[in-house]
């Protein structure tokens, strides 16, 4: 069975970045063209699927979060 990589550290870094830069989850969701609730679920880890992982990785890349 294929396991998806764990994105906990990346999700936490994104949340810290959003807080530090006054970016809301709603703004981030709009930027990536997804529902606010889906973005919230991806960032919290409530929803773990390949699409969520791709979005998390894209956000990290786009904002150069390290």
Kindly give the confidence (pLDDT) of every residue in the chain, 66 residues in length, as a single tens digit, with 9 standing for 90 and above: 444 557 789 999 999 999 999 999 999 999 999 999 999 999 999 999 999 999 999 999 999 999
Nearest to 45 by CA among 20, 11, 14: 11
What's the pLDDT at 5? 57
Domain boundaries of the chain, sorted by first residue: 8-62
| Measured distance between the N- and C-terminal CA atoms of the chain, rounded to whole angstroms | 30
The set of residues, in sequence order, having a beta carbon less than 8 Å from that of 1 and lying 6+ positions away, is none
């Amino acid at each position: 069975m294929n396991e998806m990589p764990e994105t906990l550290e990346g999700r936490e870094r994104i949340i810290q970045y959003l807080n530090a830069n006054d970016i809301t989850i709603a703004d981030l969701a709009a930027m990536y063209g997804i529902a606010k609730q889906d973005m919230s679920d991806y960032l919290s880890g409530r929803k773990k699927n390949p699409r969520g992982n791709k979005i998390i990785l894209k956000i990290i890349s786009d904002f150069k979060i390290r």
